[in-house]
């Protein structure tokens, strides 16, 4: 199946490696294309807005130095220097690499109002952000490990 592209398929994304914002193509693929790239769990969470069970994701208790990227398209999302133990069972960060790299969207599911976080380049569901995090931002980006991949800083 051919990938769908919108007319405005260019966006700006920040790259940790260069420290610059660059114009890139927005990534639009069919479910079939995503299923060929992702594991079942990654597809369910990132493309269908699922949630992994608390304390089951590979990054909830992960402490290496590096960058967390979108599992679908590789966009830089979070720096391990902003990761903290929220006690929730999901990887939590107090800030994003760059606001350009995410989309914040109101989520009315589960009979509550939350702010969903999506990858700006491919619209992957990453998790939610809450206003109960530590200083300096007071935010807790509560992410699903299944939506993330990790790159050690020395490999960036």
Q: Residue 101: its pLDDT value, please? A: 98
Active-site positions read 142
- Give the torsion sign (CA, 81, 85, 88, 94): negative
pLDDT at 4 over 80: no
Q: Residue 5: its pLDDT value, please? A: 44
> Which tokens belong to 77?
């999302």
Report whether the peptide linkage leading into residue 80 is cis, meaning its omega lies within 30 degrees of zero: no
Give residue-wise pLDDT tens across range 48-94: 999 999 999 999 999 999 999 999 999 999 999 999 999 999 999 99
Where does the pLDDT of residue 155 fall: very low under 50, low under 70, confident under 90, or very high at 90 and above?
very high
How far apart (Å, rounded) are the C-alpha atoms in residues 140 and 89? 13
Name, in order, each residue with C-beta under 8 angstroms of 112's C-beta and a sequence gap of 6 or more. none
How far apart (Å, rounded) are the C-alpha atoms in residues 154 and 121? 24
Q: Report the candidate in 59, 64, 70, 75 with the shortest Cα–Cα distance to residue 11.
A: 75
Third-level CATH fold of 10-155:
2.170.150
Give residue-wise pLDDT tens across range 91-143: 999 999 999 999 999 988 867 789 999 999 999 999 999 999 999 999 999 99
Q: Could you tell me which residues are beta bridge partners of residue 22?
A: 13
Q: Residue 140: its pLDDT value, please? A: 98
pLDDT at 7 over 50: no
Q: Residue 8: its pLDDT value, please? A: 63
Give residue-wise pLDDT tens across range 14-41: 999 999 999 999 999 999 999 999 999 9
Give residue limits of the domains in the chain.
Answer: 10-155
pLDDT at 1 over 70: no
């Amino acid at each position: 199946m051919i990938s769908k592209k919108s007319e405005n398929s260019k966006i700006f994304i920040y790259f940790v490696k260069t420290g610059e914002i660059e114009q890139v193509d927005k990534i639009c693929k069919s479910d079939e294309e995503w299923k060929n790239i992702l594991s079942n769990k990654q597809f369910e969470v990132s493309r269908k807005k699922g949630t992994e069970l608390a304390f089951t994701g590979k990054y909830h208790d992960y402490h290496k130095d590096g960058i967390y990227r979108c599992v679908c398209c590789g966009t830089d999302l979070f720096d391990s220097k902003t990761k903290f133990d929220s006690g929730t069972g999901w990887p939590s960060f107090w800030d994003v690499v760059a606001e350009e790299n995410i989309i914040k969207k109101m989520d009315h599911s589960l009979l509550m109002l939350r702010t969903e976080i999506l990858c700006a380049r491919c619209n992957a569901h990453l998790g939610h952000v809450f206003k109960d995090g530590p200083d300096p931002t007071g935010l807790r980006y509560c992410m699903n490990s299944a939506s993330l991949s990790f790159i050690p800083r020395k490999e960036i």
